[in-house]
Each structure stands twice: as C-alpha cells, then as structure tokens.
A and B are shown apart, each in its own frame.
Chain A
Amino acid sequence: MLEIKCPYCGKRSQNEFSYGGDASVKRPQLGKETSDKEWNDFVYFRNNPRGKHSELWHHVAGCRQWFKVLRNTATHEIFKTSKISEEL
C-alpha cells in the first residue's frame, strides 16, 4: 500500500485516495472546434510509461481535493506531490 502525501493533509495511506489518471491531459476548451483526432486523443489515448508519470489522485476519504503526483510506475517511488494549481 502506497503512502501518498496529500498537499493539504500530509502523508496518508493509499486506501484514502482514488486514482484519477494522467495529469498531463488537457480538456479541449468548451465550445471550441476540435478535430476528430484531437478529441479522440483526449477521450481515449493515454501514454503508459514505465518510469516517471505525472498523475491525478483524489483524496476521497479525506479533504476531497484532487492533486498531482509524480510517481515511478515501475517502482512506485513518489518523487513529488503538488496542488493542481502548482507546477509538479
């Protein structure tokens, strides 16, 4: 079980959190014309790197804040966590 540092609450066990996917995904702006490819990439395509991965986590059993985590997908090492508004 991972130990994740919520930027608001501090270190907590993984079972307080839920995983929220790739943090680098940017939703196309509302009302803006998007090509099929652009939209397809946004909805379906994700990188699946072995190694560093910036991702979203949600502190569901805590402060209910979404935040960013830089994690090694192979070793589970967590390098850094940050608020959504901060650079990771």
Chain B
Amino acid sequence: MPQNLRLDKVGYINRDKKISFKFNGKKYFGYEGDTLASALLANGIHLIGRSFKYHRPRGFTGAGVDEPNAHVQLYSGAKTEPNVIATTVELVEGLVATSQNCWPSVSFDFGAINNLLNKFFPAGFYYKTFMWPKNFWYKIYEPIIRKAAGLGVAPLKPDPDRYEHKFEYCDVLIVGSGPSGLAGALAAAKNGARVILAEDKPRFGGSLLTDEVTIGNKKGKDWVDETISQLKSMPNVIVKNRSQVFGYYDHNMMVMSERTKDHVENSTEFTPRQKLWYIRAKEVIVSTGSIERPLVFGNNDRPGIMLASAAKEYMKVYGVLVGKKPIIFTNNDSAYDTAIEFKKNGIDPLVVDIRTNSESSVVQEAKNLNINIKFSHGIVNSKGYLRVNSATVGKLNDDRSGYESLENISCDCICVSGNWTPTVHLSSQSGNKLKFDEKINAFIPSKSRQNESTIGSANGSFTLKKSLEDGFSKGYELSNKITAKNIKGTTPTSNERNYAQHDKFWCMPLPKNKYYKRCVDFQNDVYVSDIELAVREGFRSIEHVKRYTTLGMATDQGKTSNLNGLQLVSNIENKIVPEVGHTTFRPPYTPVTIGAIVGREVGKHYRPTRKSPMHEWHEQNNAVFVDAGLWVRPRYYKQENETLLEAAKREATNVRKNVGVCDVTSLGKIDIKGPDCAEFLNRIYTNAWMKLPVGKARYGVMLREDGIVFDDGTTTRISENHFHMTTTTAQAVNVLAHLEYYLQVVWPELSVNVLSTTEQWAGAALAGPNSRNLLNKLFPEIDVSNEAIPFMGYKEANLFGVPARIFRISFSGELAYEINVESGYGIFMWEKIIELGKEMNIEPYGTEALSTLRIEMGHVAGSEIDGRVISSDLSLEGMLSKKKDFIGKRSLNREAFINPNREKIVGVVPLDKKSMIPEGSHLVSDNKASLPNPKLGHISASCWSVEYNNPFSLAILKDGKNKIGEKLYAVSPLKNKSIEVEIVSSHYVDPKGERVRS
C-alpha cells in the first residue's frame, strides 16, 4: 500500500520507529512524531468523514486545531472519544480511529441522499418545515433529524481515565511558542520574571517549523531548539507543550488543558490523561499566531482541497506529500512558499493567482524555479466525488463578475490561501474590543482591558522581524513592570522572504447558469447561498445570521469560516466589514474534555463526606446510611430482612417504651462568647434571652429580615458570658454566616465572638422513659433527678474520666438527654452507652425513627421550615416577644402575614388508618374536581405513628386550625394516590408535653 508519498529526510518525524494503527478497520503504518492526519495522508487517504447536514465527502482542510472537517471517533467502549480532530491526534501504537456521521461506510454513505435533495434543505429549513403539527417535533421530527445529522457517538460508560487540576501563579504567561512568543518568553525570563510558556502542539516553534528563515545566522528551527533548551534550564520558567490555553477569564485567570497521557505508550491507569491548569498571571502575552482562510469556489469542500499552509506543514514537519499533481490557488504571496516546497521535492505545482501580478521576492523565487503561474485566474469549480480529480480554472474578466474563458485541469489536490486571520480569540475573551485592519482584511486587538498584550501575527504583524522585535520589547517591558530589573537583551538579526499585498477578492463568482455549492463553513455545511438567503429573508445582525444559518457554530467555532461569512454579509449588504461587526468569541478556544473540567471531583469525590466519630460503629452494626447535606447519617439499623418502615417502627417503639440512642453529632453547634452574648441572642431570636439563667437551655426560633422562619434550635447558657447554640444540620453553615454578618457588619459595637464547634463535639441523644436510669449509670457520681437536672437543664459531668456536657433537651417528646463529649471520645461515649444500656434494652435509632418521633409529637423540622412559613404558621407565635425588637419583627405586620386564612400546621390521619400519605401530596376538598383543583395545603412529613399504630402526617393547611375535624383528600398525582383524611391537631402524642418534664 505505501504510495511513496513520504519524503526522504524532510520533516521532524522519527523514521526509526514505525507505528501501526487502524482506521475504519484497516491497518496502516506511520512513524513516531506523526499525527493521525499526517499518517493517513502518507497512506494516500484524504476521505475521512461526511459533512454534518448533507453528508458530503470531506477530507483534511488544515493541520492543527483549525481543522473543521477531519473528525474521528477514537477507540471504543468506555474509552471512546467522539469528534476528535485527526490533525491534533498524535500517532501511538494501536490507535483505533473510525469515521463519523456515515452509514454504512465513509465511501458509500446512505445519508448522502441529503446532498441530492439539498435544494430542499436550505438555511432555516428545519425552522420552517417542522412547525406543525406541534407535538410531532418531540416524537417524530427531532429524533429523525438528530439521527441523520450529527457527529460522533458519546460514550455510555463512565470515563475510566483520571484528570488532575493544578493551580499556578506567574508573572508572565506566554500563549504560543512562535517567533514572537519565544522572543517574549526569553526576554521576560532573562529579566527575572516567573514565566510560563504554553504551546498547544507537541513541537515548539509555530511558523518557524515551516518557514524558510534564519535568526541570528541559524535556521529557524535551530533557533527554536536552542531557545527552548535555554528556557528549560532557567529555574523561573515553566515550559509546556501539548498545552492549550483555551480560556481567558476575569482578573487574568487563564485556563489551560495539558495532554499528559494519550501520546505516551507506557502509561498506567494512574497516569492522568489531562491536567487542567488554572493560571493566575500578572501579565499575559497572547502570541497565538494566525490561521489561513480558505478561498470560496464551486465544490470547494471536496477531499483533497486544503489550506496551502497545511500542505506545507505536512511536507516540512511530517515529510508527507498531500498530492503529486497540486494546484495552488491563492490571492496572496504566502501560498508561494507551498509551491516552492512542492517544487523542491520534485513535484510540479500549478499556481492559480487571482491577482494580476506580484513583484515580491517569493514570487520571483517561484518564477526562477520555473513554477507555472496563472495570474488573473481563479478556480471556478472542482470535480471528483470522493477526492478531487480536476479543477475548472477560469480567467477572470476585468470587473471580476465572470470569466473570459474556462478550462479543465486535472489535479489530485488543491491548496488554497485566502490570506491570514489573526487568532484573536483569547484577546477578545479578555475584553479587548477588536478593530478591523483594512490592510490585512481582518480583526486585530485594539485596547486591552486586562493585563493582556497581543503580539506577532495574532496582532496582524506578519513579518518575522517585527514579531521578534515586538516579542523582545514586550517581554522586557512587562517583566520590568513586575521585577523592576533592567536586563535587556538585543533582538537577533533575521532573514526572511518578503511578501506583497494580498488581494481582497476571495469568493469566486458562478459562471452563467451554473449553481455550484460554494462552502463557507465546512463543518456546519453552510454555503454562500444559505447566507444570501438569510440576508434576503431579513436577518441583519451578524449574530442572527449566525444562528439562522449556523455559520461558525460548530465545534471549530468558525476558525476558518467566520471572517469569510462576515465578508460575504458585508458584500451583500454593501457595507464595510467593521459595520457588520463580529460575533462574540467565547471560551473554550478548542473543545475541552468534560473529564478535564471535572477533574478528580467524580463519584464519591464529587463533594466532601462528613462522618461522625461513631461512623465505624454504625457500619459494624448494619446501619443503612442516608445523606444529610454533606453528612452521612444512619437512617436505620437493619435487623434480618426488615424494611425501612419496619425498622423505623421497631426503633421508635423502643424509644417510647425503653430507651434509644441516636447519633446527633451532625447538629450544628456554635460557641458564643463575650459580655454581650445575651443581648445578641435577644436580637437574633424571636423570644427573650436576657434572663436565661446559667445552666439552662432555651428553644429559640430565628427569622430572616423578611419575617420568614430561618432556623430553630436550643441554646444553652454555659456560664455568664458563654453560650452553646445548636442549629439544624442543614442550616449550620448559613446560621454561622448570618451571626457573623450581624456581629461584624450591623452591630460591631456588640462584644461577642462566634465559632463553629460542630466537629469538636460528638453528640448522642438518649431518649425514652429509661433514659434517666441510663444517665444514672453513665454518671454515677452526680444527681440526675428531675430536680437536679430539670427539663431544659444543663450540667457538666464526668463520663468515666471524660469531660461531658449533659443537656436535658428532647426532640422525640420523650424524657431525653443529649450528651456531648470531645469528638475524640465519641466512640468511647457511644460504646459505654450501648454497654450500660443493654439491661434496659437500649437500641440505637436512625434518622427515620428520629423523624417518626418528632412528627407524631408535632415538632417542626426542615420539611416545615421550608423558607415560606412564618412563626404563626408553625404555631410558634407564642415565641414572638412583644417586649423587644428582633430580626424580622418589623416584617411580621405585613398584610400577607396577618391574613387570618394563612396556612397553619395541622396533623393528618387517613380515614382507613392504613394508607401512608405520600409526602408532598396536596390537600383538596374534592378529589374528583376538574383541574386545576384548588390546593388547600400540602403534606410536609409522614410517618407511621408508633403510639397509635396508624399513619400520621404533618401538613401546612390553609386556615388549618379551623379545619380540625374536617375531612379532606390528600392527592398525589405523582404516586397516583387519593386518600381520604381527617384533619387533627399537629400535637398527636402527649399534647401537653408531660413526658419531657417527667
């Protein structure tokens, strides 16, 4: 199969190392240093895929990230990656690639029927055609269109690779290692700045890899190698290849993805595939170079038609001839480099130049080499279905509206050049407003908004001399600003070809009665006719034209097509390009693997896990866990084949009958100290705090300034100026920030300090009639009687040598205590409780039993304090002090808050005493009423009441207190249930609260 397309001795590939790979099931060979693209081209393969919409055969257009066509799917299974640009894939042994968007094969693609029908699929076709019937879109049209149009197939399994994140700071970040970038890096580094140089490609040097230039009497590539090794030897410099800086964010935050695995042969599963760098740079030099624009002519999208610079790169970097009968089609001088390179390698190119003549040295050099040049000519059309085999070349008439003559010339590739577009993506992302440069017919950066400097061809300077000068002076200037050093080098002398002015003509007219497709956006199948249609239909804003035609919206973000599209719109509208403007450049510059963005925060590492010190004990005792925010808490302790409900009933019953113990470590705990503590609490909570005695706890409710209940909990006075506050698990973080806000911002005159101690204390709640007996065993030295530790009492005591805090507080409604010890003693405390409680039939209980106990007692929790209720909705109006002001009090006389029909908390029992009512069910008076059925309230929490052995729920019900005794329906369309219920008091068990005080 070798086709002798590989040149001897030319290029930077390693000919000693042959590499085998598979493309569309067939085995091929390339060399180390090849890309998938260069290896395929060396094997004579141009046809690589099918276009997005019309399934037209497509080949390689570029040689780097600008490539719009050459997408492949790499590998298979979990490792598969769709939409990879073949021009950026480094060849490794065993690489497997397949073509995308074609069936049954790339050379015979059934979908190509779209191409024959293309008259019926112009821009906006989908919008106009699939409008009706309305419900057909989801069911019929969209699935079919999605199947026919598209790119690769996303992997269905989790990504097996690892991705790392890295944070870095530097003085000067240089993006791009072409001549200006290298010069900038060298100057800044020599002047003492901390420098990062980032190059997207595996090889450093940019245009110096392919241009015939000398710098300081060295060949361009040699100067690159020497400069890179010099930079690498400096301790203040980080040099990175295979690293794409894809986003320029606020305050000079640059994000870069480094490829660290795919090109490595002996990687392990632990080798990160990519590293995402977050770089905060004091100064950024954007030296990202430029991208060649295609010329537009009939059927300009066939395989074998590519950018002239790409053809040159394949020859000079990879030693690959992209064809043996090339036509070079250009409107400028740079394409002559490509022609000369062909000629030097024994291939006779034909140059078709739109211009009438050019006097530059490079054209003279081509003439001297006897290269055949046709001035005032252009390519009108190309032929050849799966690969170009001939071109229709026309002599342009004087006003360039048509042709004086046409001839057919056979060829096997067409190398086009429509001049160069500066790569201004990063500059524009930084907030730099671009300006249009008439001379090069493209946008360049103007005024920087951040610390960004764009130099070299990215700034529209296309000579080597200017690029080097700008690089050295910018590198010095920026580093001087930071280091204040004055080490200034001299710019080396350089030699280069000179290039004359390009011709702005770039879109070939159609000959009479010919309607060739002229492609503008290769990846999204946007043709000249589509853009003309959009303008004809009244789309004026370039952003609208973009969205209507999808011009520049593909994965390549229109790197090769945007400017041609703009020029076309401006031509049609008879405007100049700057009036048309340009679409917004947004990150990322090139597609980024989702895995790289996520990094290591996948699976259980998605967020931190908080565990109590007793977690292992729970695990060993068959706990089934549940997430409570970041905390992992035991939901129930499973015995044999119990269900969740059975276990919750068993655990809750044991609390009501004997004694249970619950891990309450996750409860928010805040230590409050200072002489103004009581005054502060008085302002924060709705009830009075000034007279709380030392050694006593009090239940409190906090409001937001708008009057809505924020959180609740108990706070204990440890000593005169020392309080211990508890919050709900869910709001712990927010309550602390809330307290800090009022102390630091609103009332800085209060002398109070707050500190989260949630993780410093392990907590265990003992609940049930036997809890006092158990407490007595745990603390035999102290008096635990009702008089010594009354309800809401507090005592410090000694748990077999461990200092402990005892709070007599109850969430279950039973006689209960909460014991806190320092976290490190948590497991000691827990095991002691279990050991000494054995004779009282102690059982641990989880959050499900905890909920059961609080629901049947009518205690509110997060499901009732849902950000919509005020104190009186929860029957907590008795806690609103009339004597003092507090946060949110002024809001409570709002009209909506004093409305007597407001929703109130009530209890709900199903009439059949059997059916569990789904949480979230709506309460309605008529379950058969037509929709929308007026909602009277909703079920906030449900449990199986162990006290009465029937289901019980809490609900927030409109005018609830007056509805007690009424019969309503709880309906849950989600669970398809409708249950007849009776409204009862929310205090279902022990309404007088005698047990907690017993």
Contact = CB atoms under 8 A, between A and B. Distances in A.
A56 B449 CA distance: 24
B737 A84 contact: no
B706 interface: yes
Interface in B887-914: 890-891
B280 interface: yes
B582 to A, nearest CB: 20
Contact of A66 (B252, B278, B683, B744): B744
Contact of B890 (A39, A44, A58, A65): A39
A43 B891 contact: yes
A88 to B, nearest CB: 13
Contacts of A27: 705, 746
Interface string B286-317: 00000000000000000000000000000000
Contacts of B741: 20, 58, 66
Contacts of B884: 31
B251 A3 contact: yes
B44 to A, nearest CB: 48
Contact of A75 (B249, B280, B449): B449
Given A66-B740, A75-B431, A76-B251, A56 B706 contact: no
B535 interface: no
A1 interface: yes
B249 A1 contact: yes
Given A30-B683, A39-B891, A43-B706, A1 B251 contact: yes
A79 interface: no
Given A13-B280, A43-B891, A1 B737 contact: no
A42 B705 contact: yes
Interface residues of B, number: 24
A85 interface: yes
Interface residues of A, number: 26
A88 B740 CA distance: 20
A65 B748 CA distance: 12
A13 B706 CA distance: 32
A65 B744 CA distance: 8
A78 B886 CA distance: 35
Interface string B718-750: 000000000000000000010011001110100
A34 B740 contact: no
A63 to B, nearest CB: 11
B897 to A, nearest CB: 13
Interface in B365-388: none
B968 to A, nearest CB: 35
B253 A1 contact: yes
A64 interface: yes
A64 B431 contact: no
Of listed B280, B737, B744, B748, residue having the most chain A CB within 10 A: B744
B322 to A, nearest CB: 43
Given A43-B706, A60-B737, A75-B431, A84 B748 contact: yes
Contacts of B431: 75
B885 interface: yes
B251 A84 contact: no
Interface string B441-470: 000000001000000000000000000000
Nearest to B449: A75
B745 A3 contact: no
Contacts of A2: 250-251
A78 B706 CA distance: 31
A75 B449 CA distance: 8
Nearest to B733: A60
Contacts of A18: 737
Interface in A57-88: 58, 60, 64-66, 75-76, 78, 84-85
Nearest to A26: B746
Contact of B748 (A20, A75, A78, A85): A85
Interface string A22-43: 0000011011001000010011
A21 B249 CA distance: 22
A31 B885 contact: yes
Given A66-B741, A84-B748, 18 more contacts: A1-B251, A1-B278, A3-B252, A3-B253, A3-B280, A13-B280, A27-B746, A31-B885, A34-B890, A39-B890, A42-B705, A44-B706, A56-B745, A66-B740, A66-B744, A75-B449, A76-B250, A85-B748
Interface of A: 1-3, 13, 18, 20, 27-28, 30-31, 34, 39, 42-44, 56, 58, 60, 64-66, 75-76, 78, 84-85
17 contacts: A1-B250, A1-B251, A2-B250, A3-B251, A13-B253, A20-B745, A28-B890, A30-B683, A31-B884, A34-B890, A39-B890, A43-B706, A44-B706, A60-B737, A65-B744, A78-B251, A84-B748
